[in-house]
Amino acid sequence: MSSPNGPISCPVIFFLRPDQQTEAHLRSVAQWVVRQGYKQAQVAEFLRGAGYYLIAQALQLGGTVVTYEAAQKTKGKIQIPMVCKGLQVPCLPPHEMLRREGAKFVL
């Protein structure tokens, strides 16, 4: 990962280490996506992305996925909110998460 100012590094603890449960949930997400009748290229693109892993982690941990993507059926891309809805994983936009968490930005 990089920025205009050079590489960005994340601490190792930023990401949860996958385990057997994670792998089972990754399979569940992949199987659900494949069963929806998307084109093979769309499925492959989705399975290469971070959304796939985030949804599996949310399934495993009972978490909520936060994304800027809108829940709308498109022909060009598999949307994270649509997968979350299909797998009954809570999903909401960042502004809603901030509201629910009571975030306050003071100048």
Please state, in angstroms and rounded to a whole number, the distance separating the CA atoms of residues 59 and 53.
10
Q: DSSP assignment of the chain, as one string?
A: -EETTEE----GGGSPPP-HHHHHHHHHHHHHHHHTT--HHHHHHHHHSHHHHHHHHHHHHT--EE-S------SS---HHHHHHHHT--EE-HHHHHHHHT-----
pLDDT at 2 (0 to 100): 46
pLDDT at 57 (0 to 100): 93
Please state, in angstroms and rounded to a whole number, the distance separating the CA atoms of residues 14 and 72.
30
pLDDT 10s per residue in the chain (107 long)? 445 666 656 555 666 778 888 899 999 999 999 999 999 999 999 999 989 999 999 999 999 999 998 877 677 789 999 999 999 999 999 999 889 888 888 88
